[in-house]
Amino acid sequence: MNFPHHPIVSFGQINFGKVEQQPGEYNLHHRDGAMPLKTTTLAIEPVLVQQHELSIPLETTAATSGDTPSTAKKEVLSATILTYGATLTHLTYPDRLGQFQDVVLGFDHWRDYLVQAKSGALNPYFGGTIGRTASRIAHASFKLESKYGANGSVEAHHPLHTLQVSNGVDCHHGGPMGFDKQHWTTVATNLDDPSVTLELISPHGQNGYPGRLATRVKYMLTGAGELITEYWAQLEERQHDAADGAGTDLHSTIVSLTNHAYWNLDGVLNPPEGQVQDQGTSHPIPTGRILDLKQKGVESSISGYEELVDFTTSSSMGKRLGPGLDQIPGGYGYDHVYALDPPCSSSSTPKHAPVSEIGIQGYLPSVAHVATLFSPRTGIRLDLTTSEPALVVYAGGYLEKAKLPNTKSREIRMDHDHQPNKHVVVKAEFDKFAGISLEPIRYPDAIHHREWSKMVTLHHDQEYRQKSIYKFGVVPQTL
């Protein structure tokens, strides 16, 4: 394996050389007393489950836009990562009044994420790392050339791989036990640039996918108000004493990873007031191409509502989501895949190169600003930059609060003369359109399209990579 080296500050229950086997909190501090990382062990049996809370003080220009000065209150960006599913469970950022807002949908308790793996659960993929393949594999099967046999001999054949069905007759988001439903291992943490790196080893044949795949995801915060996610994946040799047989296992495979966070920049614990209907979004990269999620056609038919899915507005506040949520046929609002042109600076894929030239590292080393989300209520703005060639915009049209009983809540103290120390619990209701998911991905079902297949096909001598940057800021009310 040739993953980038990450110095290990804490791993599992390593506590400055002494191995602990008890649940608890382990706080890592800078010498100045700041606490950029707090690791909590939530469970040790049957597997180790940890929660990493990252935080970083914001630079004076990060929390405001324009010439408006930052508030006197110390402003911090924080994110919480759960090892189950490599899940982003919380992200808090100060609004224009200096009030901290949690802007991602999720649950109060980590075990509620596990419940979503059960049969009959709604399974919204809140904040999870999606893999091996994001979006859809038609008919839950594909053929892929494999140049290496199980014994290491060189062979060239095209076996049919049958995946586990998870959406009608298709395989959706890696199957019923995709990467978001598995326990990842903490392999590195860093204090200087608060970050955590998690790893998952997916054995050959898991969910029907060929090849033993090692995947890492790194979450990092910066003082500029950024959450940076980076992904690496490589095929590796099977251990010689592996239970499923000895020898080499260097099958080719397919990979497309993403994060499935739902954003609500109003703050998920504020009253719904129309959910995300008044929030605005814009796409600075015009493409004119919307890929089809459900059919074999290359482009989706948007006849009759082209204007509703066109976000190439010049407005700094974006285009209001409400009309599309109300008027797009079907009643489920946005669930569209936008094809993204290569960045002008891309060295891996020239500006006018055909789609067939997009390789296993997407547009890396280049990244491009592809979407902006804005809340007029809080002033919080999110700018998404990515190396990926496509972006899913999904407005949570299939969320149902009746099937999500244990969502986030907070306790508010309300003191009155006759009722001192009274506390009221405010609970979030995640119903239809409660949040919007911006998912940078490779083209859906790319393996079934010859001109797209190169971007998802991973061979034993290659490395899959992806980088996405979620940059937060605040727009002054005067704009």
Q: How far is CA 201 from CA 182, 198, 315, 452, in A?
A: 10, 10, 44, 26
Please state the domain count of the chain. Answer: 1
For residues 224 and 59, the answer to whether their CB atoms sit within 8 Å is yes
What is the extent of the structural domain holding 123?
A: 14-474
Residue 8 lies in a domain: no
Cis bond before residue 442 (omega within 30° of 0): no
Residue 23 lies in a domain: yes
Residue 5 lies in a domain: no
Q: Which of 186, 233, 184 is nearest to 6 (CA)?
A: 186
Residue 166 lies in a domain: yes
Let me know if 150 is exposed, middle or buried by CB neighbors in 10 A (0-12, 13-18, 19+).
middle
Residue 479 lies in a domain: no
- pLDDT tens digits along 266-278: 999 886 655 688 8
Q: How far is CA 330 from CA 167, 327, 335, in A?
A: 18, 9, 11
pTM: 0.88
Residue 3 lies in a domain: no
- pLDDT tens digits along 137-160: 999 999 997 665 555 555 666 789
Range with lowest mean pLDDT among 227-236, 246-255, 337-346: 246-255
Q: What is the CATH number of the domain that holds 304?
A: 2.70.98.10
Residue 284 lies in a domain: yes
Residue 7 lies in a domain: no
Range with lowest mean pLDDT among 112-121, 177-186, 288-297, 333-342: 288-297
- pLDDT tens digits along 328-347: 998 999 999 999 988 776 56
